[in-house]
Amino acid sequence: MNVQHPASMEVISIAIASIGRPSLADMLHSLTRLTKTPATTFSVLVADDSRDAAAARVIEEADLGDPPVTCLSVASGNISAARNALLNAAHGDWIALVDDDEWVEPDWLLRLLTCARKFEADVIIGHVFLRYPDSAPDWLVRANPLYDDFGYRDKRLSTGRGGNTLLKIDLVRRLGLRFDPALGVTGGGDTAFFAAASARGARIFATDDAIAHEHVPQERLMPSYILSRAVRSGQSSARGNPMPMPAGPIIPGSFSRSCSRWMRGRRFAPRPFRCWCFGPLIARPSSVCARSLYAPEACAQSGKVALRAGASPGPALQAAGLGIFLAYDGWAGQIR
């Protein structure tokens, strides 16, 4: 049963979809250090999506006490299903989505709420700064190939993500928003979710002062992961525009983001390692282009090819940029 709060108080449900990684404890402990104000109150929801109640065990061992944590058993192996369970269980005014491999600064929630009030926003997307393992080479840390920059404070966005995000619960209920379970394993469900909200009038803004941090495991430093992430990112960009629209604005945007990653790599990487960045450079826009070709749809007004979600791009697309990328892969053992 939900606790009754004064009408003037903002109630926030902090929601975490988890497979029971040990890093969940870091997130939970960071929540105990959040700045509290008389005008806000929050509780914590964890959707345990593991098959063996691993998240429930992490919660029990963390022994937090305050804030209260409610654990929901989902056990689907599908992050969209876990997030939908969190949407169902959330109560109050806001739901704050974070991942179980993150942790947040003490003023994180306060800054999200401040930004939401200032811009009369329905959704606020904060920055997630990556924390690489000590074994990561210095040049790769500085190149930071896995970082997604959602932009400066007050930038208006057309989509979002499921980590470090503040979302109005009323918006979810009113629009009947759900994460697509079909994308819960392949990825891109959060991009599609927030793109659908934006298309229906939701006001989505970025902020750069509500800070979360994310653990980067060793396996994500490998070229194969960086390449596959670039391909998935391109797929999500196309999938995140569910309404027919010209391909033109999306492909250059995808290409520019890939170029920024390439430039970071070229600037910081020793010469033998600079080829790592060509994979993301080629794969992400190639993925967007391929999605246009797989789902050609003549726009009645513009006559241009529209982007929409479709089938997985297949082996040819997965290999985009791989020939050049392998030049780095051959040196992979030397960066550990």
Last residue of a domain, one of 218, 244, 263: 218
Write down which residue in 180, 199, 218 finishes a domain.
218
User: Could you tell me if 237 and 323 lie in one domain?
Assistant: yes
The residue that leads in pLDDT, 4 or 85, is 85
Picking from 75, 69, 40, the residue whose alpha carbon sits closest to that of residue 54 is 75
Q: Is 31 in contact with 108 (CB distance < 8 Å)?
A: no
Q: Are residues 119 and 244 in the same domain?
A: no
**295 and 195, same structural domain?**
no
Same domain, 187 and 240: no
At 168 the pLDDT is 97
Residues 265 and 148 in one domain: no
Q: In terms of residue numbers, what domain contains 42?
A: 1-218
Our measurement of the distance from residue 95's CA atom to the centroid of its chain's CA atoms, rounded to an integer in Å, reads 15
Domain boundary among 218, 239, 264: 218
The model's pLDDT over 223-245, given as tens digits with 9 standing for 90+, comes to: 777 767 766 666 666 555 544 33
> CATH code at 130?
3.90.550.10
Comparing 26-35, 106-115, 301-310, the range with the smallest average pLDDT is 301-310
Q: Is the pLDDT of residue 98 over 50?
A: yes
Q: Residue 198: which residues within 8 A CB-CB, separation 6 or more?
A: 157, 158, 159, 204
Residues 173 and 229 in one domain: no
How many domains in the chain? 2
CB 112 within 8 A of CB 35: no
Same domain, 175 and 126: yes
- Shared domain check, 258 and 207: no
Provide the pLDDT for residue 285: 52
Report whether pLDDT(106) > 90: yes
| Least confident residue range of 15-19, 83-87, 108-112, 149-153 | 149-153
Query: What is the reported pLDDT for 63?
Result: 80
* pLDDT at residue 138 in the model: 82
Question: Do 243 and 149 lie in a common domain?
Answer: no
Q: So what's the pLDDT on residue 242?
A: 45
